[in-house]
Amino acid sequence: MTTIAADDLALRRSGATLLAEVSLSLGPTGSVAVIGPNGAGKSMLLRTLAGIETPTAGQVRIDGRNLARLPGAARARQIGYLPQYFEPHWDLPVIDLIRLGAERAKHDTDGSVETVIAAFELAAPRERRWSSLSGGERARVLLAMVLAVDPPVLLADEPAASLDIRHRLDVVQALARRGKDRLSVVVMHDLDLVFRFFDRAIMLNRGRIVTDGPARDLFDDPRLDAAFGVEFERFKTPDGSLLRVK
């Protein structure tokens, strides 16, 4: 069980402010969607929480400890970061890619490799190289690599962006389900899936947090329309809520 918090984070690159005055507290469990228009700072927030980017001001704390002072190996066991794009430089087979993910653990690499291969149904393509995999298989391999050490915190940046509707639904559901006993923070573009599967939604605009609360409360919030610069029509359905741009 791990908590992650941001204290007054700021991130500036080449004179541009990408994040400002971002404070939040997450975990130890829950499914959290991070939403906002393009350029709102969603990816940068996730990268900073994951320790990929170093904040210009403020700090990220994991279980109360400053993330910047945590050794890389310990950070990699606590936080699984799923990037938006992934293309390995060498055309490795599935089994080697997953083993590299599993080696973040201190012991029993082989056991965790076999566990995730079974969990993500990768037994058939285990010897195939990355270049020969379909989009759906690639998404499963990437998830298996990141989740091979079963990290208590998962930060996923638009993990389903390039997938067809069925695979997108599978991945988003799996990530949201993880929030039942772990922390799952996911950058999402599909707002209907946010209302349907996530407990909490954080909306960013121009690098700042606009709203942070239960996902279902955001559905009727007019700030949603303002942030995305459109007017939404709202529909309640038996199994969720739907938005349509007017």
Partner 1 sequence: MKVWLVLALVLAGALALAACAGHEWASPVDLARALAGDTDMRSRLLFEWRMPRVLAAALVGVLLGLGGAVFQGVFRNPLAEPYLLGSAGGAALGATIALLVPLGASQSLLLPALAFAGAWGATVLVIGVSRVAGAVDAAGMLLAGVAVAAVLGALRSFLMLALSDEAVSLQIVLSWVLGGVQTPTWAVLGLFAAISAGCFGLTTLLARGLDVLGLGETMAIGFGLDVKRFVALAVLAGSVVVAAAVAFGGLVAFVGLAAPHIARWLVGPMHRPLLPASALVGASIVAIADAIARSALPPSEIPLGLVTAVAGGPFFILLLARRLRT
Q: What minimum distance in Å lies between the beta carbon of 83 and partner 1?
A: 5
Q: Using the rule CB under 8 A, is 51 a contact of partner 1?
A: yes
Kindly state whether residue 69 participates in binding partner 1, applying the rule CB under 8 A: no
Segment near partner 1 (CB under 8 A), from 5-13, 65-73, 167-175, 221-229?
A: 65-73
* Contact between residue 176 and residue 196 where contact means Cβ atoms under 8 Å apart: no
Sole binder of partner 1 in the list 4, 24, 49, 50 (CB under 8 A): 50
Among 15, 72, 222, 238, binds partner 1 (CB under 8 A): 72
| Integer Cα distance of 142 and 97 in angstroms | 8
Choose the binding region for partner 1 from 15-23, 69-77, 203-211, 214-222 (rule: CB under 8 A).
Answer: 69-77
Distance CA 152, CA 178 (A): 9
The string of DSSP codes covering 108-156 is -HHHHHHHHHHHTT-STTTTSBGGG--HHHHHHHHHHHHHTT--SEEEE
Q: Binding to partner 1 by residue 93, rule CB under 8 A? A: yes
Q: Compute CA distances 62 → 101, 107, 211, 237, whole Å.
A: 21, 22, 22, 39
**96 in contact with partner 1 (CB under 8 A):** yes
Q: Which of 73, 118, 123, 124 binds partner 1 (CB under 8 A)?
A: 73
Q: Tokens 């082989």 appear where?
A: 110
Q: Rule CB under 8 A: say whether 87 interacts with partner 1.
A: yes
The least CB distance from residue 243 to partner 1, in Å, is 31
Binding to partner 1, residues 141-170 (CB under 8 A): 146
Specify the stretch interacting with partner 1 by CB under 8 A; choose among 91-99, 116-124, 133-141, 186-194: 91-99
Size of the site for partner 1 (CB under 8 A): 30
Q: Of 42, 47, 140, 168, which one interacts with partner 1 (CB under 8 A)?
A: 47
Q: Which of 12, 17, 56, 92 binds partner 1 (CB under 8 A)?
A: 92
Q: Exactly one of 15, 38, 69, 89 binds partner 1 (CB under 8 A); which one? A: 89
In contact, 164 and 9? CB cutoff 8 Å:
no
C-alpha dihedral sign at 63, 191, 176, 108: negative
- Residue with tokens 């080449």, as numbered in its chain: 14
Interior/surface letters 112-151, b for 16+ CB within 10 angstroms, e for the rest: bbebbbeebebeebeeeebeebeebbbbbbbbbbbbbbeb
161/185 Cα distance (integer angstroms): 15
Q: Which residues sit at the interface with partner 1, rule CB under 8 A?
A: 47, 50-52, 71-77, 79-81, 83, 86-93, 96-97, 100-101, 103-104, 146
